[in-house]
Amino acid sequence: LTDLFGPVPMTEAVNGEAGNLYPAFDSQQLIYETILADLERANTLYDQDLNMVYAEDILFANDVSLWQKFTNSLHMRLLLRISNRTETNAFQKLTAMINDPETYPVFETVEESAVLQVTGVTPNISPWGRPQDFPLGVKMAAFFVDNLNVLEDPRRPIIQTGAQDLDNNPIGYKGIPSAYAGPESQFEFNASTLNRAQVENPMQIFLMTYAEVEFIKAEMAQRGYTTNAQEHYEAGVTAAITQLGATTTEAYFDNPVAAFDGSLEQILLQKYYALYFVDYQQWFEFRRTGLPQLPTTEAMLNDAMMPSRFFYPSDVQISNQANYQQALELLGGPDNINTKVWWDNN
């Protein structure tokens, strides 16, 4: 929530039964400091010699070691998120975690990732009630498709359908520019759309993946804090492909476009694809880094600037007005999509 809006209720949240229906807001800095402290403490509480006393959980089937790895993997994500705030010493804390895997174990395989397995058995069903609606009115963006084509990436048929010419002949995978001017009829082909199989039961909902952990390590190495950037980059790419059910070989990296060139841009482009279908993480990462460099057009709204946050819901403005005004003071700007949150000082 705080990455979406900025200041949100935390210390007074979830107190409706106690009569507090209009909670105060907390600063994003305090929220992050609290969450990071909680994750640090949680890591010290796991005891793999004790069985969990509850019924089998839906993420890790009561595997204590995987819950600990999830805790530390999430800790890494959030430290990297705030790393542009140099006063947090986030890079130094991340370095210490990476260099001490015995104290801070993290995901080490695709199978260990935090993934909700949607079985299709009520109530564990796809959030898309009508999977056939998933691709309606949606065309794949040329930037997204073109990079995968150059990479000869095996994820293409899993993510999207093939494009067709106007005679319905297949022409491979092809997208259209984001926010183009003029009618869609200007394109003399039918562009690729989203593959509806992605939201049909059974399906997977990614919360935090091993691939993301490897890309965090790759970025840290590329920035000079740790080592083995190429090893982590290749592990991240391979894991990202595998998590979607595709397969890759070492030949994938024989492609000059896929071969590691040492740049942060390349790491974050592949991380962009690894975060496909991982809630809002692509957007959060773009706000943190400005990467990958997404094309813009004159037809885009907001002067072609990527939004920095969501508006607060209108019911907050109406029903919790005093605390809404306090939230704007903590935010440090107007309630619009261009006001940056605390960690977003890129």
What was the pLDDT predicted at 213? 99
The Cα 140–Cα 138 span in angstroms is 7
Residues 145 and 173: beta-carbon distance below 8 Å = yes
The Cα 276–Cα 254 span in angstroms is 24
What's the DSSP call for residue 306? P
The full set of domains in the chain, from first to last, is 2-127+199-331 (1.25.40.390), 131-198 (no CATH)
Residues 31-84: pLDDT tens digits? 999 999 999 999 999 998 888 777 899 999 999 999 999 999 999 999 999 999
What was the pLDDT predicted at 51? 81
What was the pLDDT predicted at 48? 85
Residues 176 and 141: beta-carbon distance below 8 Å = yes
Percent of the chain with pLDDT over 70: 100
**Would you tell me the crossing angle of helices 64-81 and 90-98 to the nearest 10 degrees?**
150
Please list the ranges in the chain whose pLDDT falls under 70. none
The residue type found at 194 is L
Average pLDDT value over all residues in the chain: 97
Residue 117: how many other CB atoms lie within 10 Å: 11
What was the pLDDT predicted at 13? 96
Q: pTM higher than 0.85 for the full model? A: yes
The Cα 39–Cα 81 span in angstroms is 15
Residues pairing with 121 in the sheet: 124
